[in-house]
Chain A
Amino acid sequence: MGNQINLSNQNSPLKQSRGIEKVATEIDGLDDILKGGLPAGRTTLVSGGPGTGKSLLGLEFIYRGALSGNPGIFITFEETKENVRQNAFTLGWDLDTLERSGNFSLIEGQVPPNILLSGDFDLKGLLAVIEGKAREIGADRIVIDAIDILMRFFNDPKEQQDEMLILHKWLTDQQMSAILTVKSANDKLSSEYSYLDFLADCVMYVDQRIRQQVNTKRLRVIKYRGSSYGANEYPFLVSDRGIHFSPISEVEMTYQTDSQRVSSGDRLLDAILGGGYQTGSCILISGLTGTGKTCMANIFARSACEKGQKVLYINYEESQAGMVAGMESLGIDLLPAINESALEVLSMMPESMGIEAHLFYIINALRRFQPQHLVLDAVSACKRIGGESAAFDFLLRIVDTCKKMNITAVLINQAEGGPAGHDFSGIGVSSIIDTIISLQYRDTGEELNRALVVVKSRQTRHSNKYHQYVLSDQGIQIDPGSVEKH
């Protein structure tokens, strides 16, 4: 079987790391964990329980490779070709076109459960098929999903091992970068398949856990011969485009200036607050529609960005364009900050994904962008993600992450009315909030004015007076007469 498959495909992103060549998976975040990718020309084992994403991981490896011009084969013993195509389709992956381009081959390894047997047999049929296909399309990548289904045909454990050795030897001779998936209940391969561990140069384990209504999938590299690797458990998410791993960041703490305070963007508001916002604290701006909450948050964002700081703005209420236009009419120009990448707006619909996905995107964005401040617009919209209790968990996680990273979190809340006008939409988050600013309407019978009051601000001497303000095309203008000089 002398095949001359050329490994040095000019499109192949091989990386050197401690002497071994690697093949990038191009799966978001995974290559960082693997310090470059999978071992080139060697076998990787992905083990895990059902529904943990092993098949998808393998498929995405082949899919992304094919997209970059590296032909690959995906053999499924788990599903039908049609199912694989359908599942891929929901991720926006067009496998049909890829197949026609000759960079991808999907093989259905159908062997019925009750096969008729008489005498000895072996896996050479499989080898012939993959060898033929690999030669036909010039493939140097292959995924076999799942190897344990194949192994089941051999009752005798020694036979199983022999066959696997033959398969492994063939894969190595052909210099195929291979992923074999295997079902496993925990991160120790059952004794049945422990020999697979010896064959593979890289072994990864995936599992999924449900904790506090949040379903998390995690990956852990158990071994990687000849290479260093990220040794933690890495949460990942299957989005509507594929698998995403949380980016690794060595530095969890963002670089904060020495001062403990940051300006709210308005001198008078700073005085009312007793010196501005405390960096790394959690501030709630609450009020009815039209009271100017978003305006206040953006005055802060713009001011911080002007000082060279970064702000991540999570917008559940409107698009970036809508927000920019709205603020422009109030005299607040966000474009310079946006254009300098100091202000990043993540605009999302709460209903678009589940809690864990929202958390994932936001926490990922915090780690990647490393802003000094976060604005969440609005807390009240979070209930639309998955109900009140889930919304509370969600907020808790976000605020917790911000505190750990010393990021100032400004939460905007659409109040639902009530005597003091600062009820917090029924979500009991007040315990984790350090500062509450309530924006209210004051109906004098003749005029409808606006007034703000600092309901609380931990560890600060703040004003407890109502301060009238006006919203106009000059932004928020607080009545200076009401403000005592601190």
Chain B
Amino acid sequence: MNYSSDADSGNEEFAFQLFVAGEERHSDEAKQNLIQICESHIKGRYEIQVVDVFKSFDLALENSIFLTPALIRISPRPQITIYGTLSDTEKVLKAVGIEGN
């Protein structure tokens, strides 16, 4: 496998915060897509915290989350935010710094 300097080196731990708006269509899609991506590419070394903005508006405010769903890569640093249902896998991988297979 080729690894670019930015990308996952095979050992790194990923921590994500996924902001969703309750239980609805976009939320489900985003959750599914994220889990799928993580299982396929960084299995065993990721952690996802799902935040319902309606239950934790403070957290949403702190992170300036006004559009949902929103994914924040907490680690590795720096923090990166992607908005949307994460339907475009390639784009997500690239943004989040996971090398595709």
Contacts and interface: CB of A to CB of B under 8 A. Distances in A.
Contacts of A131: 54, 57
Contacts of B19: 125
Contacts of B86: 118-119
A122 interface: yes
Nearest to A163: B67
A110 interface: yes
Contact of A116 (B21, B65, B81): B81
Contacts of A118: 82-88, 91-92, 95
Contacts of A109: 64, 66
B50 interface: no
Given A119-B30, A119-B85, A132-B57, A125 B65 contact: yes
Given A107-B61, A118-B92, A120-B26, A125 B67 contact: yes
B33 interface: yes
A108 B95 CA distance: 25
B92 A121 contact: no
Nearest to A154: B67
A288 B29 CA distance: 85
A115 B65 CA distance: 12
Contacts of A108: 64
Contacts of A122: 21, 26, 67-68
B26 A121 contact: yes
Contact of A120 (B64, B81, B85): B85
A126 B26 contact: no
A107 B69 CA distance: 20
Nearest to B89: A118
B18 interface: no
Interface in B63-101: 64-70, 80-88, 91-92, 95
A116 B53 CA distance: 19
Nearest to A124: B21
A128 interface: yes
A448 interface: no
B26 to A, nearest CB: 6
A125 B85 contact: no
The residue among A110, A127, A133, A150 with the most chain B CB atoms within 10 A of its own CB is A127
A10 B60 CA distance: 32
Given A121-B67, A126-B67, A132 B87 contact: no
B12 interface: no
A122 B68 CA distance: 5
A121 B60 contact: no
Given A124-B53, A125-B53, A132-B57, A119 B87 contact: yes
Given A115-B83, A122-B68, A133 B26 contact: no
Given A109-B66, A119-B33, A132-B61, A125 B21 contact: yes
Contact of A125 (B33, B60, B80, B82): B60
A111 interface: yes
Contacts of B81: 115-116
A150 B53 CA distance: 18
A450 B66 CA distance: 77
A159 to B, nearest CB: 12
B35 to A, nearest CB: 15
Given A1-B54, A128-B21, A121 B61 contact: no
A91 interface: no
B58 interface: yes
A201 to B, nearest CB: 25
26 contacts: A108-B64, A109-B64, A115-B67, A116-B83, A116-B95, A117-B83, A117-B84, A118-B83, A119-B29, A119-B30, A119-B33, A119-B85, A120-B85, A121-B26, A121-B68, A121-B70, A122-B68, A124-B21, A124-B68, A125-B60, A125-B65, A125-B66, A128-B60, A129-B60, A129-B65, A131-B54
Interface of A: 1, 107-111, 115-129, 131-133, 150, 153
Give 4 nearest A-B pairs by CB, closest first.
A132-B57, A124-B21, A119-B85, A119-B87
Given A115-B67, A128-B53, A153-B67, 18 more contacts: A115-B82, A116-B82, A116-B91, A116-B95, A118-B83, A119-B85, A119-B86, A121-B84, A124-B22, A124-B53, A124-B54, A125-B65, A125-B67, A127-B21, A128-B57, A129-B60, A131-B54, A132-B57
